Structure 1
């Protein structure tokens, strides 16, 4: 449908033209009316108009003056003039403004329809030519950009130089934006081809140039997008244009020559290809932060260059068993860290997590038959691990699965609370732990908590804490740490006090123990 604006100061004329003519039968639609020339100019800012029907005599601004004002900036709108007999000579002057036709008042419906038929045919032909030109231009753009991306020494290539000149790509600055569909279900070479025309309408020619390459849609901008605000505005424009299509976007650093686009393309493409590993962000760019950095230490030694599935099944199951959400998150995150250290791909990470979650749900099903219903419900959710768009959402999703199970556990009984306390000691033995402080944390009287703890572990709180510290001290001494370093790392500020404690529980001094371990390890 072609859009129509009716401009006349007489309400009867405006309403009559709008309602009496079967506009849609002839390929037109009246989108608005205006009471004078000034009103018409305001309506032009609001609507995209193809045809205006204008009264030649109106107060303030005549129809001729209105057409003259519009023609200064727009040569595409068509005009039909309405005039009285006395205005016939005046109306003929409008011919120089490329007016399609004029009608004498009172308006004859058939005469207007006779004008609309040929006008629509002419507009259809023009539209077809524009689309064909647009298609050819799109082909040339893609051809040039892919030439720049794939041609060695493109700057010296005469054919590439010629195309650069034809497309007038002598801009002072460039920024490349690369867009990729998050989940592609289509079979064509570039799933974003269906969106290309929309992006061309949004960005060309004022802001830049749109092209296709491989499975990506590129926007070559002729402006700076360095600030957070400008990047936010750009992403909002891109998202609005993409509408409901889920996309991911990366942006290059600014460059000064079109011949540098190859480097910018590989820079932005690499970001998109590795987007799974970055923290959630609207736009990926150089310096974007990884969700988990590689080669960070973990508590379990990696053997045979593979993920220790059983070890982490036990660690995470323990956190679930004592209903400790904090420990659960820490262990899931550490499992993820191990996979990053092993340089797993996105597919390998998702595969291992599916195995890990399945293994844990099986353990929970056997050990906690009372939770069978919730376990069955969350088991259905395992398939969605594969659909998580990035590492951050994947880890959050797995946490959510197990927290649903924890949420159904009866953790208010004394045994559950003591299990949480024991776990807390093992994770924080190096801190200045006191029963009184922990009793407050667990909402117990300290004397009563001490009795519960003794009944559960067989040891008083301070004795149990000392034992945990001594076991960790032994491990550190075996690794060759100095006595004062070990004392500090396991929670003792006084080395002599640590020395006495160690001798009491282990039966020898820390120095003697370290020498003994060194001798035994030598053989």
Structure 2
């Protein structure tokens, strides 16, 4: 469809030309009209029509004068002249200005349609040639950008920089990464690249190129402020909207020499590498790196012992059905695991390991909840699918909140009753008052006093008595001493022996023998 501007000082002519021709059927549409020469120049500049149909004689400024002035700025503009006079001199001048047709008023409809069809063929060929030239120019420009970025041997070939319009005041590489159902599908990635190419070519704002798993844009302008970064991100998001992909993008440092765009590319790639820690929905800029380094300056390496302790806390928090406790443990996990110095994969692996251990403990402690846990079997896999820390945090909170709801929700008992109940269920674990106090969000000394006032026993003594009672049950079943010690939570057999004798007055083996003889006697 070609755009047409109609220029005539007579309203009846303007209206008649707009309605008498079925413009759409001939591949045209009338986008505006003008009533004089100066208005025509303004609207030609505004609309840049494919064809201007213009009256020869108008007050103030003739049609030829309009054409002469427009030709200074746009030598390829197309004009069809209307004239009320069969004036050879005017026609000769019009031909000299390269007009496409010269028709006499009153306009004959068939003659007008014939000229429009002829002009349409010329416009079509011109558009096809322009498109081919644009595609060829973009191909060479893209090839040159990629050669400067990835092929050191090509950097000496700078002859075409001027010819291809690459002499800019600054250069900045933006890298775009997309995630969605079609991750890694080169067909759709190429479709996105073509769409981005059309967008940036039409606005003459940069060159789109391939950059491995990413799509690159070499920008003319500089993106170094939050407002500009937000605006460009909205533009990129609009381009990808039809595919419903999640978009991430980073801008490298700007450079003033085309030969240095590798520096901009490297800084953009390094910034995008830390996408996992970026929590804003916009294009990443260089200042964001310092912000992330400051926020996640944790240099501590999470050891296996740390992972075990964190998994214990998480298990305890779920076991007492406390969403608040879970939230505190997850926040502590983030403080310990998340670091600007670690890779995304390392951080996710730590999360997955802790979650796996906590879920295994839950499953082993109570067989009744195993069917509930089975419904969340994909949870660990989902950890690796999250593209940012924000997404991982949200997904994890939602998972554990739902899990606690399925397991029965938050306990309504007092905190001491919860601790006692917890000890009864987990006496075989390496329980410590300090750890439980942290899970329940209490000062350990204060919790110890509450516990002593409620039970009449110190925490460790109460734990020992619970373990000894469980040990007596196992000894009555004829288990060996070391098996019983391990099952009730004593890693050292001698220590178990001394504790048992302290509370029962006899050794574990003697108790087992007595129980054995007692059972025989009763028989």
- TM-score interval, normalised by the smaller of the two chains: 0.5 to 0.7
Alignment of 1:204-215 (within 5 A): 204=204, 207-215=205-213
Q: Which of 412, 415, 426 is the matching residue for 2:438?
A: 426
The alpha-carbon deviation at position 216 of structure 1 amounts to 3.3
The alpha-carbon deviation at position 352 of structure 1 amounts to 5.8
Please tell me whether residue 13 in structure 1 is matched to residue 13 in structure 2: yes
Alignment of 1:260-279 (within 5 A): 260-279=260-279
Q: TM-score of the superposition, structure 1-length normalised?
A: 0.67
Please tell me whether residue 180 in structure 1 is matched to residue 181 in structure 2: no
The alpha-carbon deviation at position 27 of structure 1 amounts to 1.9
Alignment of 1:4-43 (within 5 A): 4-37=4-37, 39-40=39-40, 43=43
Contact 1:5 1:49 in 2 (8 A): yes
Find the aligned partners of 1:25 and 1:161 in 2 and give their Cα distance: 48
Find the aligned partners of 1:225 and 1:97 in 2 and give their Cα distance: 44
Contact 1:179 1:249 in 2 (8 A): yes
Q: Which moved more, 1:254-263 or 1:27-36?
A: 27-36
Query: Which residue is 2:392 aligned to?
Result: 394
Find the aligned partners of 1:211 and 1:334 in 2 and give their Cα distance: 42
The structure with the larger Rg is 2
Alignment of 1:271-350 (within 5 A): 271-286=271-286, 287-288=288-289, 289=292, 292-293=296-297, 295-296=299-300, 301-302=303-304, 308=307, 312-335=310-333, 343=342, 345-346=344-345, 349=348
Please tell me whether residue 55 in structure 1 is matched to residue 59 in structure 2: no
Find the aligned partners of 2:437 and 2:452 in 1 and give their Cα distance: 16
Query: Which residue is 2:509 aligned to?
Result: none
Find the aligned partners of 1:424 and 1:362 in 2 and give their Cα distance: 16
The alpha-carbon deviation at position 317 of structure 1 amounts to 3.7
Is the partner of 1:332 in helix, strand or coil?
A: helix
Is the partner of 1:225 in helix, strand or coil?
A: coil
Distance 1:164 1:281, change over 3 A: same
Find the aligned partners of 1:52 and 1:39 in 2 and give their Cα distance: 13
Contact 1:4 1:31 in 2 (8 A): yes
Say how many residue pairs are matched: 437
Find the aligned partners of 1:70 and 1:226 in 2 and give their Cα distance: 38
Q: Which of 163, 167, 188 is the matching residue for 2:160?
A: 163
Contact 2:310 2:354 in 1 (8 A): no
The alpha-carbon deviation at position 402 of structure 1 amounts to 2.2
Query: Which residue is 1:143 aligned to?
Result: 143
Distance 1:270 1:86, change over 3 A: same
Query: Which residue is 2:495 aligned to?
Result: none
Find the aligned partners of 1:331 and 1:53 in 2 and give their Cα distance: 74
The alpha-carbon deviation at position 111 of structure 1 amounts to 0.9
Is the partner of 2:73 in helix, strand or coil?
A: coil
After superposition, what is the alpha-carbon deviation per residue over 1:396-415, rounded to whole angstroms, capped at 9, x for unaligned? 22112222444675547344
The alpha-carbon deviation at position 264 of structure 1 amounts to 2.0
Identify unmatched segments of 5+ residues in structure 1: 436-449, 468-523
Distance 1:228 1:328, change over 3 A: same
Distance 1:425 1:381, change over 3 A: closer
The alpha-carbon deviation at position 168 of structure 1 amounts to 5.2
After superposition, what is the alpha-carbon deviation per residue over 1:278-309, rounded to whole angstroms, capped at 9, x for unaligned? 333512233521675553376xx515xxx94x
Contact 1:211 1:217 in 2 (8 A): yes
Is the partner of 1:85 in helix, strand or coil?
A: coil
The alpha-carbon deviation at position 38 of structure 1 amounts to 5.1
Contact 1:68 1:97 in 2 (8 A): yes
After superposition, what is the alpha-carbon deviation per residue over 1:418-453, rounded to whole angstroms, capped at 9, x for unaligned? 759999943665699799xxxxxxxxxxxxxx9xx6
Q: TM-score of the superposition, structure 2-length normalised?
A: 0.67
The alpha-carbon deviation at position 125 of structure 1 amounts to 1.2
Is the partner of 1:161 in helix, strand or coil?
A: coil
The alpha-carbon deviation at position 18 of structure 1 amounts to 3.0
The alpha-carbon deviation at position 131 of structure 1 amounts to 1.6
Find the aligned partners of 1:365 and 1:46 in 2 and give their Cα distance: 74
Q: Which moved more, 1:140-149 or 1:188-197?
A: 188-197
Contact 2:56 2:82 in 1 (8 A): yes
